[in-house]
Structure 1
Amino acid sequence: MSNLIFWFLVFCTGLCMGSFLNVCVSRLPQGLSIVRPGSRCPDCSTAIAFYDNIPVISWLLLRGRCRACGRSISVRYPIVELAAGVMAVLVAVQYGPALPALIYFLLICALIAISLIDLDHRIIPDMISLPGIAAGFLASFLLPELSWLDSLLGILVGGGLLYAVALGYYLFAGKEGMGGGDIKLLAMLGAFIGWKGVFFTIFVASLIGTITGIVMILTAGKNLKFAVPFGPFLSLGAVVYLFFGQSLIQWYFFGPRPW
């Protein structure tokens, strides 16, 4: 019974964090405070009462509408809350109820916010990635599987690799093909997961990004008139590394071969 209560509390903590992420995604690109004022309807700006601000449950009870104006509230709000709740449980299962789980959960929360902001506005806020680089390096002194040297190399390799790619594309094509936000994001990821994680993240992000791009081209054809942001793919690649990276690397280099 106590175990069930523990996992329920972990899930609820994740839900609440997801609610906070929705605020960050909405306000950070506008340069607004994420603390004040309190939550408001995105349409009529009416303050949302505490009983209408319970993660997921309030959205379901109100049928996805504002109590004051009746306007629809995006289903993305409860999806983000649920995603954060599920990730809180999965990280605790993967790393145990210990400090590394908390650190990696906060990293994943930052990646959720970054991905949604990048999808909405094609930007990756420096106010997340730059402090994240410092936080990742400091976290290396608390994470048993990551040394400070691995973290430092991760920052240099992560930022340096994408900077080299961006510079090469600019020299070849005469225009920017990758924003500085992606470079700083990968440097932040390198701080948390080290240089090995950087290479893994780039590989997975490029693979998924390529597949997604092909599908979008085949689906939209000539109607595809916008660039696909790379931040969400980098974020996804890093999350895959957190859960499966070590075992996949071990299998690839040291697993059995059919020949």
Structure 2
Amino acid sequence: MIPTTFLIITAFVFGACIGSFLNVCIYRIPVGASIVRPGSSCPRCKTEIAFYDNIPILSWLLLRGKCRTCGASIAVRYPLVELLTGLFAAACIFFFGPTWQALAAFAFIAVLITVAFIDLDHRIIPDTISLPGIPIFFIAAIAVTDLTWRSSAIGILAGGGSLFAVAWGYQLATGREGMGGGDIKLLAMIGAFIGWQGILFTLFAASAIGTLIGILAMVRSGKGMKLAIPFGPFLSMGAVIYLFFGDPIVHWYLGILR
């Protein structure tokens, strides 16, 4: 029997490597560039990054956040994405064990990380991620989790339909677009993997977290209600919270109501 500690460490290293790839996706997908070729290079001097300078987290620390060739600063977000992805990979092993469910959960989270950072940078959620994700995570959910195909299908409809209704109502009432179609497709993808119960939790958690952070951001920026804040990262956060802690939180909340 392989020690659990060894599995968790191995998962972290694997996840950090995937996080390095996610950085490529976050940078290239919005501009329509290939995520395969060419290899990673310095944005300023265009020098291709050698493999020994592309070790997740460690290379950034050893190079002190700078390009070896030209000395240009490398954003701290790159190792942070690698660290975040590694931690989530370890968490999947810890919560689900060395199972196919853990692998599917990690893939789901990796997609959400990619979506969240793209939305933060560009205020878009690419259809090339969310639309294929709907059937992929529908199949994954019914194949390796306890979710039934009915719950997954209802999750897709509830996820996409609920945000569509909100967006349509807001536009009808104000004449302005308040929510993009990317959020609708993203929530449909989320519903495919965590079902309609997860959609209810995700919407509640995303709204609560988004409201809190939104108020703080508006106060800090001084722009008030004119400040545009992407909703995709909050939907992603809500879905991840449900994935790990949804059932205990729901049971705790229902216990309070009794």
Q: TM-score, normalised by structure 2?
A: 0.96
Distance in 2 (alpha carbons) for counterparts of 1:249 and 1:145: 17
Q: Distance in 1 between matches of 2:155 and 2:224?
A: 38
CA shift, 1:2, in A, is 4.3
Larger mean Cα displacement after TM superposition, 137-146 or 92-101: 137-146
- Percent of matched pairs sharing the same residue: 58
Partner Cα separation in structure 1 for residue 76 and residue 94 of structure 2: 27
Deviations 1:149-197 (A, max 9, x none): 1000000000000000000011111111000000000000000000000
Partner residue, 2:186: 185
Q: Are the aligned partners of 1:216 and 1:224 in contact in 2 as well (CA < 8 Å)?
A: no
Matched letter for residue 11 of structure 2: V
Match of 1:176 in 2: 177
Q: Which runs of 5+ in 2 are unaligned?
A: none
2: distance between equivalents of 1:216 and 1:62?
Answer: 33
Q: CA RMSD in A?
A: 1.5
Match of 2:206 in 1: 205
Contact 2:56 2:79 in 1 (8 A): yes
Q: Is contact 1:133-1:187 (8 Å) kept?
A: yes
Alignment deviations for residues 48-80 of structure 1 (CA, whole Å, 9 cap, x no partner): 000000001111111111111110000000000
After the TM superposition, which parts of structure 1 deviate over 6 Å for at least 4 consecutive aligned residues? none
Residue 6 to residue 59, structure 1, CA distance change in 2 (3 Å): same
Higher mean C-alpha deviation, range 42-51 or range 162-171: 42-51
2:113 aligns with: 112
Could you tell me which runs of 5 or more consecutive residues in structure 1 were left unpaired when the two chains were aligned: none
> In the alignment, which residue of structure 1 is the partner of 2:66?
65
AA in 1 matched with 2:56:
P
What's the TM-score, normalizing by structure 1? 0.95
User: For residues 5 and 185 of structure 1, what CA distance do their matches in structure 2 show?
Assistant: 34
Distance 2:2 2:142 in 1: 32
Is 1:76–2:77 an aligned residue pair? yes
> Counterpart of 1:112 in structure 2: which amino acid?
I
The one-character-per-residue Cα deviations of 1:137-157 (angstroms, maximum 9, x if unpaired) are 111221332111100000000
2:134 matches 1:103 = no
Residue 71 of structure 2: SS of its match in structure 1?
A: coil
